Structure 1
Amino acid sequence: MTDPQIGAMAIGVLFLLIALRVPIAVALTGVPFFGIWYLINFKAAVGALKVIPYSFAANWLLSSVPMFLLMGYLAYHTGITRGLFNAARIWLARLPGGLAIASVMGASGFAAVTGSSVACAAAMGRIAVPEMLKNRYDAGLATGTVAAAGTIGALIPPSILFIIYGIIAVVPIGDLFLGGAIAGLLTALSYVAVILIRAKLTPGLVPTLDETYTARQRMAVLLEISPILLLALLVFGGLFGGFFTATEAGAVGAAICAVIAFFKGGLTWRAIKASVSETITTTAAIFVIAIGANLLGRFVAISQADVWISDLVGLFASNFVLLMGMIVLLYLVLGMFLDPLGAMLLTMPILLPVMRDQGLDLLWFGVILAKLLEIGMITPPVGLNVFVLKSVVGDAVPIGTIFRGVAYFLLADLMIVILLIAFPEIVLYLPRVFDQ
């Protein structure tokens, strides 16, 4: 058996272990360790286990991960983002399905501060779903909207997926943020279109609300959320303007978030403890999985399985549509069973060499990848955001109803993926403008 065949077989074993519910960090670390041991010797495998974790974790850019996580968890636990839904509701009250559209806009604003899809779905589920159900919105539309809107956090900065992808693929994180912001905006607009079309075509799906608000009320609610708008402006304006590095932007964001929470009275010891604790545990989980992915990348290179896989994919490379169709299908399947970070880190060591060999833009591919991983958060049978929302609403809405509600948004997601693949400039235009 040749080395590339051994490498390919090991990748198959890796997917089998994950299918058997072996923790992804254990599988990602164990398979390449034993693979290197078999191909070279035990000493080389131990050496890789000694060197690779440090060489990866010592990357300065990775310090942006806990900084942005801390900013997000502080915003979540201190409650400074709660006014976003109310602001969107007041400004969008006249539209059909105004509360559902407000949920999408509120989730987009929440994502721009926290970068967490799960936290976004949980927070908006507590705020928006009870309000929609109280106003006689269809349960599937109400819960489906919030579950889908939560996924926008994977695209709108500060996305942790983009930070990890940028470091591993050697793509500027700021450019990924810019490209992802456009994809996130398109996603939000497509969700709004779904709500408007469904409200128009299905009478009774949403009630007709007679809520009216004065100009003074509209300005008052904008004033209420102005600290959050200022936070986003300072952090991302500084990052895209070249004043901050990604790490500095995260640190500045966390500091400003703490100051805002202090003056709003939300910076309690309990909130600080929860924010720091969740930042540490989430960072540790991300790093352990990422280190395993780096070990897998080293093993794939040693076995030359990447060359074999690239040659295999090369049989389809002449047909761009077929190649991208295979990649989309791969991530849709993986998204049904794996969390987004795990699916990304599992496949990057295999697919990145293929993308480079085919001459595809890695910035564009990173945004496509994040969008596909986002779709996986609402696809059955796992659908992480769906289950998070179910835990929030309890017995009020059956989980089957939530999955039926997100089905319409899944169709919109697939249309956005097709659009981004067909017109790469949608993703690449803004980063190029800022790089000039």
Structure 2
Amino acid sequence: MTGVELGIAALVLLIVLIALRMPIGIALIGVSILGLWMLTNWRVAWGSLGLIPYKFAANWILSSVPMFLLLGYISYHTKLTEGLFRAARAWLSVLPGGLAIAAILGSAGFAAVSGSSVACSATMGRIAVPEMLKSGYHPQLATGTVAVAGTIGALIPPSVIMILYGIVAQVEITQLFLGGIAAGILTALGYILVVMIRVTLNPSLAPSTDDRASWAERIESLKDTWPVILIMLGIFSGLFGGVFTPTEAGAVGAFLATLVALLKGTLTWGRFQAAIQETVLTTGALIIIGVGASLLTRFLALSGTGEFLSSSILGSGASPAMILLGVILIYLLLGMFLEPIGAMLLTLPILLPVIDGAGFNLLWFGIIMTKLLEIGMITPPIGMNVFVIKGIVGKSISTGAIFRGIWWFLVMDLILLGILVLFPQLVMYLPTTFG
């Protein structure tokens, strides 16, 4: 069996193991070590298992991941973002579907202190869904809006997905963050447009209310937004002003979130322990997947499979547009079954050379890929954000009803994806201007 044949057989085995629900990290490590053993010998395979995990984990930029995760978990457990929704509700109550729009803007605000889509959905779900249901909003609109609004969390920096992509693709993290701002804002505006169109066409989805805040109440509500604004200013002013690096920005953000929570009096020892525990567990899982992806990259390189696949695709005569369309379809399909970071690290060793060889900008592609992965967070059968909301509402609303509530937003997501593909300058403007 040639190296390429062995590599293709290993990829087929990997797909089978993942389909059988084996954890992605374990499947990646197991298949890669087995492949290296069969390709060379046990000594090389064992040596790779000792060397590659160290090289991956020793990457200094990777240390920003647990820090940004800690920032998000502290903000979540200490309820630093609740004021965002209250302020948005006070100011937007006059609009059709005002509470749903407030949930979208609240998620966008929370995204600026968290790199997690799931954390955004969980936070806004606990705050906004009960308020919308109490106000007579249709359950599908209420739950669907919050589920999709959570996807903004990985687009607006900081973003764990972008950090990991930058490490693998060797793209500057700050540049990715700048590119994600436009994509995140555009996504939030698109979701707001969906809500307004749906409620205008069918006012029964979001009954109007006379409970509109006065100007005095609106001004008063802005005082509750200071925790997030302070953290955002601290992170972004230092990061984009060159005071500290993206790696240091995570630590600064986590420190600011802890300090703000102490000042507000919402940080207890139990909440701090919970934030630390979730950070450690999530970081551990991400490192295992990352180590597996690094081992797979080494195996594909030694076997010649990666070069064979990329040269076959690039030499097939397909246009760059067709190659990009194929990559988009792959990520949309994988998003239905895999969690985002696993899907990204599983595919990048194969697809990055193809994208680069087709002449696409890797920074721009990183934002497109992030958008694709976040679409997967709401698509059946395994839309993680949907199941987060299901866990919040319990038996009162079925999973099917929540999935039905996201379809209008899913159409908008595909439209937004098309806009970002056709007009790459939307993504590249900020990185080009301030890079």
Provide the secondary structure at the position in 2 that maps to 1:204.
helix
Kept in 2: contact 1:144–1:404 (CA 8 A): yes
**TM-aligned CA deviation for residue 316 of structure 1:** 5.2
Matched to 1:328, the amino acid is I
1:309 maps to: 309
Please say if 1:300 is aligned against 2:335. no
Please say if 1:36 is aligned against 2:21. no
Provide the secondary structure at the position in 2 that maps to 1:395.
helix
1:73 maps to: 73
Kept in 2: contact 1:316–1:322 (CA 8 A): no
Unmatched tracts of structure 2, length 5 or more: none
Kept in 2: contact 1:140–1:401 (CA 8 A): yes
Structure 2 CA distance, aligned partners of 1:291 and 1:317? 34
Provide the secondary structure at the position in 2 that maps to 1:113.
coil
Structure 1 CA distance, aligned partners of 2:307 and 2:114? 39
Structure 2 CA distance, aligned partners of 1:219 and 1:205? 28
2:218 maps to: 218
Structure 2 CA distance, aligned partners of 1:310 and 1:33? 22
Structure 1 CA distance, aligned partners of 2:317 and 2:32? 28
1:127 maps to: 127
Matched to 1:102, the amino acid is A
Question: Are residues 146 and 329 of structure 1, via their aligned partners in 2, closer, same or farther at CA, if it must alter by over 3 Å?
Answer: same
Mapping for residues 203-352 of structure 1, pairs under 5 Å: 203-315=203-315, 318-352=318-352
1:375 maps to: 375
Structure 1 CA distance, aligned partners of 2:42 and 2:355? 32
Matched to 2:369, the amino acid is L
2:82 maps to: 82
Provide the secondary structure at the position in 2 that maps to 1:415.
helix
**TM-aligned CA deviation for residue 213 of structure 1:** 2.2
- Larger mean CA deviation between 411-420 and 317-326 belongs to 317-326
**TM-aligned CA deviation for residue 216 of structure 1:** 2.3
2:362 maps to: 362
**TM-aligned CA deviation for residue 358 of structure 1:** 1.7
Kept in 2: contact 1:103–1:128 (CA 8 A): yes
* 1:170-213 deviations in Å (ceiling 9; x for gaps): 00001111111111111100000000111111231210122332
Kept in 1: contact 2:162–2:176 (CA 8 A): yes
Kept in 1: contact 2:182–2:427 (CA 8 A): yes
- Larger mean CA deviation between 241-250 and 1-10 belongs to 1-10
Structure 2 CA distance, aligned partners of 1:68 and 1:287? 15
Provide the secondary structure at the position in 2 that maps to 1:209.
coil
Question: Are residues 404 and 317 of structure 1, via their aligned partners in 2, closer, same or farther at CA, if it must alter by over 3 Å?
Answer: farther
Provide the secondary structure at the position in 1 that maps to 2:341.
helix
**TM-aligned CA deviation for residue 311 of structure 1:** 2.1
Mapping for residues 173-192 of structure 1, pairs under 5 Å: 173-192=173-192
Mapping for residues 48-127 of structure 1, pairs under 5 Å: 48-127=48-127
Matched to 2:111, the amino acid is A
Provide the secondary structure at the position in 1 that maps to 2:171.
coil
1:149 maps to: 149
- Larger mean CA deviation between 184-193 and 112-121 belongs to 112-121
* 1:224-278 deviations in Å (ceiling 9; x for gaps): 2112112101101211111111121111111111111011111100011001111
Kept in 1: contact 2:320–2:358 (CA 8 A): no
Structure 2 CA distance, aligned partners of 1:351 and 1:132? 42
Structure 2 CA distance, aligned partners of 1:186 and 1:214? 29
**TM-score where L is the length of structure 1:** 0.98
**TM-aligned CA deviation for residue 321 of structure 1:** 2.6
Kept in 1: contact 2:148–2:378 (CA 8 A): yes
Kept in 1: contact 2:320–2:359 (CA 8 A): no
Cα RMSD of the aligned pairs, angstroms, is 1.1
2:22 maps to: 22
**TM-aligned CA deviation for residue 317 of structure 1:** 5.8
Identity %: 55
The count of corresponding residues between Structure 1 and Structure 2 is 435
Structure 1 CA distance, aligned partners of 2:299 and 2:167? 19
- Larger mean CA deviation between 319-328 and 92-101 belongs to 319-328
Provide the secondary structure at the position in 1 that maps to 2:34.
helix
Matched to 1:394, the amino acid is G
Provide the secondary structure at the position in 2 that maps to 1:360.
coil
- Larger mean CA deviation between 283-292 and 110-119 belongs to 110-119
Matched to 1:188, the amino acid is A
1:198 maps to: 198
Matched to 2:207, the amino acid is P
**TM-aligned CA deviation for residue 324 of structure 1:** 1.6
* 1:271-303 deviations in Å (ceiling 9; x for gaps): 110011111111111111101000000111111
Structure 1 CA distance, aligned partners of 2:382 and 2:318? 34
Structure 2 CA distance, aligned partners of 1:316 and 1:149? 39
1:386 maps to: 386
Structure 2 CA distance, aligned partners of 1:34 and 1:88? 54
Structure 1 CA distance, aligned partners of 2:84 and 2:419? 29
**TM-aligned CA deviation for residue 314 of structure 1:** 1.4
- Larger mean CA deviation between 14-23 and 204-213 belongs to 204-213
1:418 maps to: 418
Unmatched tracts of structure 1, length 5 or more: none
Structure 1 CA distance, aligned partners of 2:316 and 2:381? 30
Provide the secondary structure at the position in 1 that maps to 2:415.
helix
Structure 1 CA distance, aligned partners of 2:184 and 2:215? 29
Kept in 2: contact 1:137–1:206 (CA 8 A): yes
Structure 2 CA distance, aligned partners of 1:109 and 1:314? 41
